[in-house]
Amino acid sequence: MLDFKFISPTQFVFGRNAEEALVSESSKLGGKILLHYGGGSIKKSGLYDRVKSYLAEAGADFVELGGVKPNPSLFMVRQAIDLCRTEGVTGILAVGGGSVIDSAKAIAIGVPFQGDVWDFYTGKADAQEALPVGIILTIPAAGSEGSNGSVITDEETRSKFAYGSDIIRPVFSLMNPELTYTLSAYQTGCGVVDMISHVMERYFTNTENVDLTDRLGEAVMRSVIDIAPRVFANPEDYEARAELMWASTIAHTDIVGLGRNDNWASHQIEHELSAQYDVAHGAGLSVVFPAWMTHVRKENLPRFVQFATRVWNIDYIAGREDEVALEGIRRHKAFYESIGMPTSLSALGVTDNRYDIMAEKAMRDGPFGEIKALNKEDVVAIYTLAES
Ligand code: NZQ
Ligand code: ZN
């Protein structure tokens, strides 16, 4: 096990009516709040009106900016930073999913910073200060409600970059599983893939003697695989929605990744897809992850055999380890298909070949990934494997 430091300062309030805790929690955002939200789902569900009434009850002063799109844009982040400076905003309330939360986190570090907020995402600056960010979560997927990450897209250059710092972990996250009843089957599926992927990016490591975190990760993956079908059968199954919502957080606070080198290769390859084609992150991962596994499995076959036997309950057969590993990948892919997710670029609607451009962009900091450090040829090979 490697040495590590870990902090998760977020106050999680979980359960029916959790969003009502905004009345007491909103003071953590200071005297003037930016209410930040997406494209309209919260207005349709009535949550928007309730949030405004909780803020009124708390006596909180606020301005609002809605319209955050999936794969949130740098353009809107910059616009919001200007608004916050003009209005003297002291904290941000994000009501939505990963896109709204990541936009809020970017604004939070951009407002007190003298330079351009994009410098954080291109590795030119590290945030020293941030406005506090509070969350009302409406989709379990990205895990941004408990993570130290934010992912923003510069639409002009088609670049989707991540920034990570403990300074942007939310001060509170209010999580009511009932708020997720209105999710479409597709968005629910995207969330399922993303949360499993967050465990897998940590699980596929070359670090040895990490048994506890391996088994924590396996528990999260198994639970999600067992429970997800219930949500598709009955979108208002409270207990199943609750399990998925908490799984999304546990998968990405980093608790299942401590003491090991993590991977993130599939995420990097997916982010290039999202940047080029504006596909949903979870749908992109559903295509990329099985292809990545197939491509790199022989670099650490025991890991892939462990995944197959412990997560997919496949029998170990001495001398036929590669078959066991491939069967694990096949079952994993079949699971994604069973919940309506695409597992090929063609099913994702990507039919033109921009593999070279995407691979080139993915290589911007050199070879990446833990099981195997991928070079440009590997990345092109993975996109090619994912074709059909
Ligand atoms: O915009 P609205 O109208 O709210 O609709 C959203 C959006 O269209 C809809 N939605 C959300 N809650 C709903 C709902 N529709 C009905 N009922 C509800 N209760 O769902 C759509 C997708 O929302 P989005 O926030 O984009 O989804 P998600 O949470 O999957 O976030 C994806 C973003 O997070 C990034 C991804 O790259 C992507 O940009 N990630 C962030 C991470 C982090 N910060 O730690 C880690 C992840 O790996 C990921 O990269
Ligand atoms: Zn993700």
DSSP per-residue string spanning 36-49: EE-SSHHHHHTHHH
pLDDT tens-place string over residues 126-161: 999 999 999 999 999 999 999 999 999 999 999 999
Q: Which of 132, 161, 179 is the last residue of a domain?
A: 179
Smallest-distance ligand from the CA of 142: 1
Q: Looking at the structure, tell me whether residues 276 and 152 fall in a common domain.
A: no
Q: What is the whole-number distance in angstroms between the Cα of residue 264 and the centre of ligand 2? A: 9
Q: Looking at the structure, tell me whether residues 190 and 172 fall in a common domain.
A: no
Q: Looking at the structure, tell me whether residues 51 and 128 fall in a common domain.
A: yes
Instruction: Give the chain's length.
Output: 388
Domain of 94, CATH number, reads: 3.40.50.1970
pLDDT at residue 202 in the model: 98
Q: Looking at the structure, tell me whether residues 139 and 212 fall in a common domain.
A: no
Q: What residues pair up with 5 in beta bridges, in sequence order?
A: none
Q: What is the whole-number distance in angstroms between the Cα of residue 183 and the centre of ligand 1? A: 11
**Any ligand 1 atom below 6 A from CB of 112:** no
**Any ligand 1 atom below 6 A from CB of 41:** yes
In a domain, 5, yes or no: no
Q: Looking at the structure, tell me whether residues 231 and 160 fall in a common domain.
A: no
Q: Looking at the structure, tell me whether residues 257 and 293 fall in a common domain.
A: yes
pLDDT at residue 181 in the model: 98
**H-helix or E-strand containing 300?**
none
**Any ligand 1 atom below 6 A from CB of 284:** no
- Where would I find the beta strands (DSSP E) of the chain? 11-14, 32-37, 61-65, 91-96, 133-137, 149-154, 159-164, 172-175
Contact between 29 and 134 (Cβ < 8 Å):
yes
In a domain, 337, yes or no: yes
Ranges of the chain with pLDDT below 50? none
pLDDT tens-place string over residues 234-262: 999 999 999 999 999 999 999 999 999 99
In a domain, 317, yes or no: yes
**Any ligand 1 atom below 6 A from CB of 40:** yes
Note down the domain range covering 210. Answer: 185-385
In a domain, 270, yes or no: yes
Residue type, 367: P
Collect all residues with Cβ–Cβ distance below 8 Å to 232 and sequence separation of at least 6: 185, 188, 189, 339, 340
pLDDT at residue 304 in the model: 98
Q: Looking at the structure, tell me whether residues 133 and 171 fall in a common domain.
A: yes
Query: Could you tell me the end-to-end alpha-carbon distance of the chain, in angstroms, rounded to an integer?
Result: 38
Please name which of 257, 183, 172, 166 lies closest in space to residue 220, comparing C-alpha atoms.
257
Q: Looking at the structure, tell me whether residues 342 and 289 fall in a common domain.
A: yes
Q: Looking at the structure, tell me whether residues 129 and 204 fall in a common domain.
A: no
pTM: 0.97
Q: Looking at the structure, tell me whether residues 219 and 172 fall in a common domain.
A: no
- What is the full DSSP assignment across 232-298? HH-TT-HHHHHHHHHHHHHTTSSTTSTTS----HHHHHHHHHHHHH---HHHHHHHHHHHHHHHHGG
Q: What residues pair up with 11 in beta bridges, in sequence order?
A: 172
Tell the residue nearest (CA) to atom 18 of ligand 1. Answer: 183
As a whole number of angstroms, the distance between CA 63 and CA 265 comes to 38
pLDDT at residue 352 in the model: 92
Identify how many contiguous H helices and E strands the chain contains and give both numbers: 16, 8
Smallest-distance ligand from the CA of 281: 1
pLDDT tens-place string over residues 279-306: 999 999 999 999 999 999 999 999 999 9
Please name which of 75, 7, 72, 89 lies closest in space to residue 37, comparing C-alpha atoms.
72
Sign of CA dihedral 73, 190, 161, 8: positive
**Any ligand 1 atom below 6 A from CB of 180:** yes
Q: 207 vs 177, 190, 213, 217, 220, CA distance in Å? A: 35, 29, 11, 15, 20
Q: Looking at the structure, tell me whether residues 270 and 313 fall in a common domain.
A: yes
Tell the residue nearest (CA) to atom 46 of ligand 1. Answer: 142
Q: Looking at the structure, tell me whether residues 125 and 271 fall in a common domain.
A: no
Total number of domains in the chain: 2
**Any ligand 1 atom below 6 A from CB of 97:** yes
**Any ligand 1 atom below 6 A from CB of 144:** yes
In a domain, 2, yes or no: no
Helix (H, G, I), strand (E, B) or coil at 58: helix
CB atoms within 5 A of ion ligand 2 belong to: 194
Pull the structure tokens for residue 282: 């979870």
pLDDT at residue 281 in the model: 96
**Any ligand 1 atom below 6 A from CB of 150:** yes
Residue 209 falls in which region: left (phi positive, over 0), alpha (psi -120 to 50) or beta: left
Q: Which of 179, 214, 229 is the last residue of a domain?
A: 179
